[in-house]
Structure formats: structure tokens, C-alpha cells
Amino acid sequence: MIEIIVEITLLSLLVIMAFAIIRMRSLFTVIMLFSGFSFLSAGLFVVMDAVDVAFTEAAVGAGISTILLLATLALTYSPNVVKKEELPAHKPWLPLFVVMITGVLLIYGTADIPDFGDANAPAQKHVAPYYLKQSQSDTGVPNVVTAVLASYRGFDTLGEVTVIFTAGIAVLILIGGRKKDNKQEFDDEA
Amino acid sequence: MKHNLILRIVSKFLIPLIFLFALYVQFHGDFGPGGGFQAGVIFSAGIILYTLVFGIDIAKQIIPPGLLRLFASLGVLIYGGTGVAGLMLGGNYLEYGVLGSTQVAGQHLGILVIEFGVGLTVMSVMLIIFFAFTERHKED
């Protein structure tokens, strides 16, 4: 019973926050609200017993991405230039219509989704029972999530780490700290 | 923010705790929630807090950018290398069972090592991105 109340509270707060994000015009406020949104989702994941996902959401979604977004804002925003926002030239009816249709279709689609925690859901029938039964004797690791991520799905995790590594390289190439050296080289050539 | 006394003292008190928690999450990931990814992010958050309070120049003296680049590649190398080590010992790529004397011991060792690689790469890459943004801001 308490769990339902907590879930309803968290979900309504998420909806309120989503509307607040849409209404806000200050990017700084929007980023902070995004952080709060992530943190609420993390709370929701804890209620759903997905602590590993909640942990990641709280650390990455609410923590690091907020910092990176704020850093981006500091990089791109100049307080001296205040632009007055112009109303868009086109009418909102067509986008609104498309969004409404999509929303209705999505809600219609949820009718086919199995209940939360349903033991007969396809997701629970495929490989999940094997992991739950065998991971202890296969790997000796009590946390099944770690056993799946690091051992059974080691290739996927290797791919994820490579993606992160690539992202770091991409940022270094784009805005890495070699600016001064480049300038010097350019001067030498000239 | 260098002259904010309260902020400095509180963060000096907090940062070691953040590091300690990150290490706990890193090496306790087999038993509780967490693992290399979360630990790397938490560890980098500690250093980012330090950078915010004490400035990027001092932070760069502690962790030079060259070292971060080395760590980022080293993490991926540790992960891939564990797979190759499995190959050398007669197993499949990323098969940890052959690393130890028994299947479970090998799995344990393999998971610990690759989680360390994940943590190292994630920590370094987060800091590389953060430092790149901050440096760029300073130059302009």
C-alpha cells in the first residue's frame, strides 16, 4: 500500500516537473529541473527494486550530465546579449495533431504490455530464469546484475566502455586543450 | 570560489568520503548495487567538486591531462586484455573461467579486473570532458 502511494507521488511529481520544464524559458532553470527529474526517476527505480539502474541514474543522470550541461551553458551563453524570444511564424496545429495521434497510439499500445512484475511476461521467460538459477554456481557473484553485465554480457559491456572512450576522444578532438599549440603552428607556417 | 571558507572546509571534509564511497562501490559491486561505471562517475564527481572549489589549475596539477588520457586508454586495454588473457589460457575471448584455478575463482577475478577497467575509463573520460569544457571557457 505504502509502495503504491510512493509510486503515485513520484510519478505525479515527474509529470509536474515535465510541465515545468516545458514552461520554463531560462536554460539554467531547465537544467536544474532536468537534474531533479533524473533524481525522481532514480527514486522510482528504487521503489521498483532496480537499485543498480537507480544508482546509475542518480550518479550519471542527476550528477554528471547536469554538470556537463551547465558547463556547456557556461560555454555558449553570454549574459551581455539578451535576445527577445520571437514567436514562431507557423501555426502549432499540425505538430499538435501529430503529437496527439502519436500519444493516443502509444497509450493504446500500453494495453498490450504485461503487468509490472508479471511472471509470465516475455521478458521473464527467455533467459532471465537461467541467470537467476545459474549465476550463483556459474560465477559465484551474489549480485546477478553484475554477473550478467560483466560475465554473461561481457561483450556488450566492452562495447559500452569503448563508446565512452570514443566519446572522450571525440570531445578532445573537437574542443581539446591543444588550441594554443595549433595557433603557434599556424604562426610558424605563416 | 577560492575565498569561500565554509565551502572549502566542507568540501575538504566531503571529498575523501566521496572517494572512499567510490572505491566501495567499485570493489563491492559483486555483492551490492554498483560497479565500475557508477564508481568511475562518483570518483570523477569528487574531483569535479575539488575543481569547482579550488580552481582548474590546481586540479590539473593533481591530475595532469596526459595522465587522464593514459588512464582512459588503459581502462579499455585492461578490459580487452582480460579477454586476450582468456584466449591465451585456452578459453574463449572474455571467458573468465580459465583465469583462476576453478571456474568460480576465475569468474571472480575476471569480473573484478574488468570492472576496474570500466571504472578507470569512465572516471578519466568524464574528467577529460569536464576539463575540456572548463579550459575552453577560460580561454575565451
Q: How confident is the model at residue A85 (pLDDT cuts 50, 70, 90)?
A: low
Asked if the structure places residue A140 within a domain, the reply is no
Asked if the structure places residue A60 within a domain, the reply is yes
pLDDT digits (tens, 9 = 90+) for B89-134: 888 888 888 888 888 888 888 888 999 999 999 999 999 999 988 8
pLDDT at residue A109, rounded to an integer: 92
Is residue A24 scored above 70 in pLDDT?
Answer: yes
A184 CA: distance to closest CA in chain B (Å): 15
Asked if the structure places residue A39 within a domain, the reply is yes
Picking from A28, A60, A78, the residue at the C-terminal end of a domain is: A78
Closest-approach residue (CA) in chain A for B100: A139
Asked if the structure places residue A16 within a domain, the reply is yes
Q: Do A75 and B136 touch (CB under 8 A)?
A: yes
Q: Which positions 19-48 of A are in contact with B (Cβ < 8 Å)?
A: none
pLDDT at residue A39, rounded to an integer: 94
Q: What mean pLDDT, rounded, does chain A reach?
A: 85
User: What integer is the mean pLDDT of B42-55?
Assistant: 91
Asked if the structure places residue A53 within a domain, the reply is yes
Domains: count for chain A: 2
- Between B31 and A38, the more confident residue is A38
Written as nine digits, the cell of B19 is 572517494
Picking from A78, A103, A135, the residue at the C-terminal end of a domain is: A78
Asked if the structure places residue A107 within a domain, the reply is no
CA–CA distance, B126 with B68 (Å, rounded to integer): 10
DSSP structure string for chain B: -TT-HHHHHHHHHHHHHHHHHHHHHHHTTTTSS--HHHHHHHHHHHHHHHHHHH-HHHHHHHS-HHHHHHHHHHHHHHHHHHHHHHHHTTS-TT-GGGGSSSHHHHHHHHHHHHHHHHHHHHHHHHHHHHHHHHHHHHH-
Percent of all residues in chain B with a pLDDT value above 70, rounded to a whole number: 96
Output the pTM of the full model. Answer: 0.84
Cβ–Cβ contact A151 with B under 8 A: yes
Cβ–Cβ contact A79 with B under 8 A: no
| Residue A187 lies in domain | 154-190
Asked if the structure places residue A163 within a domain, the reply is yes
Q: Do B136 and A167 touch (CB under 8 A)?
A: no
pLDDT at residue A83, rounded to an integer: 65
Asked if the structure places residue A89 within a domain, the reply is no
Picking from A19, A46, A78, the residue at the C-terminal end of a domain is: A78
- Between A139 and A157, the more confident residue is A157
pLDDT at residue B98, rounded to an integer: 84
Which member of B25, B32, B121 has the closest CB to residue A164?
Answer: B121
pLDDT at residue B71, rounded to an integer: 94
Which of A61-75, A104-118, A164-178, B67-81 is the most confident on average?
B67-81
Q: Do A64 and B45 touch (CB under 8 A)?
A: yes
Which member of B94, B107, B125 has the closest CB to residue A141?
Answer: B107
